[in-house]
Amino acid sequence: MTARNYHGLTLTGGYTYAHALGESSDQGTSGGLVIPQNSYGNFRSQLYTSTAFDMRHRFTISGTYAIPGRKGFGQLLEGWSVNSAAVIQTGTPWGINDTTTDFAGVGEANGRNPAANEGIQWNFLGNPSDFKAVHNFNGVTPGPTGITGIPFFPGGGTTASLAAPTANATCNQKAAALGPLASASLNVLGCYALGSSVLLPPAFGSFGTMPRNPWRDQGFRNWDASISKAFKVNERLQVQFRAEFFNVLNHINFVNPFGGPGGSGTANSINPSKAGQVGTGLGYVLNTPDAASSNPILGSGGNRDMQLGLKLLF
């Protein structure tokens, strides 16, 4: 939608609905979980899903309004304009990749294969929106370890007992329903629980059942604005003073835990066998989009920023 000089208003707006599906994302890196965890199974059923760059909704609008002016008073009552630009987009998918534990015992998870680390998925039970990365999970109460991210509930660390002794009753119940070998893996590796949903390790001797990239991040929301005043020197020369404000509302934007544009997940923050024990937290990230893209000065997504500028237009 475009409006050109409608009573001083020039406006451009756009909306995009998209759904990107595929068996791999970007350049096919292993971090995108593009290698099937079970080479004996159906590759398409294991891999085909929303890609890491699947941005379902995106809305943009930008405009300039030339404020009506009056002659006189040293041009102080004319030449003013306000400018604004906003971007709203929904989150992109992310997921996990456990390249540490060979639950199935076939040697395909942790490097003993021609394609290097394939990784194994865990079992996810519940609503994927419970694990939505909103403000880096700052609004949730961490598990007993106090680690930031999706709360982790450690097991007993040994297969000697199959009682699944975690501090989360839902984890214990779900694992027990899957059988004693599921309780054994829970006892060794623990689980993650948020809302009414749990992430459980697969039973020893089996593969995990969750798809790749099942969760979404918080999306991206940004509003920039500026005000300008132009002084006309002659017919060919103007001097324009600008005051510009970036991220006016100081909205918090973290990058995707892994997989999306500017994703910054580390090996441990997306490896559930490691994340709870090393202090990173599952899905935990440190960067805003501008810092993750190595452009903290001119990039989008940082904290509120203000600047003054002077332009010569000729």
CB atoms within 10 A of CB 76: 12
Q: What is the pLDDT of residue 259?
A: 52
Q: What is the pLDDT of residue 136?
A: 83
Q: What is the pLDDT of residue 106?
A: 80
Structure tokens that stand for 312 in this block: 């010569």
Residue 30, pLDDT > 50, answer no
Residue 22, pLDDT > 70, answer yes
- Which of 138, 140, 186 is CA-nearest to residue 162? 186
Give the angle subtended at the CA of 166 by the CAs of 161 and 168, to the nearest 5°: 145
CA 256 – CA 20 distance, rounded (Å): 17
CA 180 – CA 182 distance, rounded (Å): 5
Contact, 258 vs 133, CB < 8 A? Answer: no
CA 89 – CA 221 distance, rounded (Å): 7
DSSP state of 13: E
Q: At what angle do helices 169-178 and 180-189 cross, to 10 degrees?
A: 140
Maximum Cα interatomic distance, the chain, rounded to a whole number of Å: 89
Residue 28, pLDDT > 50, answer no
Structure tokens that stand for 285 in this block: 């990230």
Higher-scoring residue by pLDDT: 225, 37: 225
pLDDT in tens, 263-272: 455 667 888 9
State the pLDDT confidence band at 291, using cuts at 50, 70 and 90.
confident
Residue 200, pLDDT > 80, answer yes
Residue 76, pLDDT > 90, answer no
Residue 101, pLDDT > 50, answer yes
pLDDT in tens, 296-307: 877 788 899 999
Structure tokens that stand for 95 in this block: 């997921």
> Which of 61-70, 76-85, 162-171 has the lowest average pLDDT?
162-171
Mean pLDDT of the chain: 85
> Could you give the 3-state DSSP secondary structure of residue 239?
strand
- Which of 249, 243, 242, 245 is CA-nearest to residue 222? 249
Q: What is the pLDDT of residue 275?
A: 86
Contacts of 146 by beta carbon, 8 Å cutoff, 6+ apart: none
Q: What is the pLDDT of residue 9?
A: 94
Contacts of 279 by beta carbon, 8 Å cutoff, 6+ apart: 147
Q: What is the pLDDT of residue 31?
A: 45
Residue 50, pLDDT > 50, answer yes
Q: What is the pLDDT of residue 167?
A: 87
Residue 80, pLDDT > 70, answer yes
Q: Where are the domains of the chain?
A: 2-313
Higher-scoring residue by pLDDT: 189, 293: 189
Task: Give the mean model confidence (pLDDT) for residues 233-261.
Answer: 87
pLDDT in tens, 159-173: 666 666 788 999 999
Phi, psi of 164 (to 5 degrees): 50, 60
Percent of the chain with pLDDT over 90: 43
State the pLDDT confidence band at 229, using cuts at 50, 70 and 90.
very high
Q: What is the pLDDT of residue 126?
A: 94
Strand partners, 15: 59
pLDDT in tens, 203-218: 999 999 998 889 999 9
Higher-scoring residue by pLDDT: 174, 136: 174
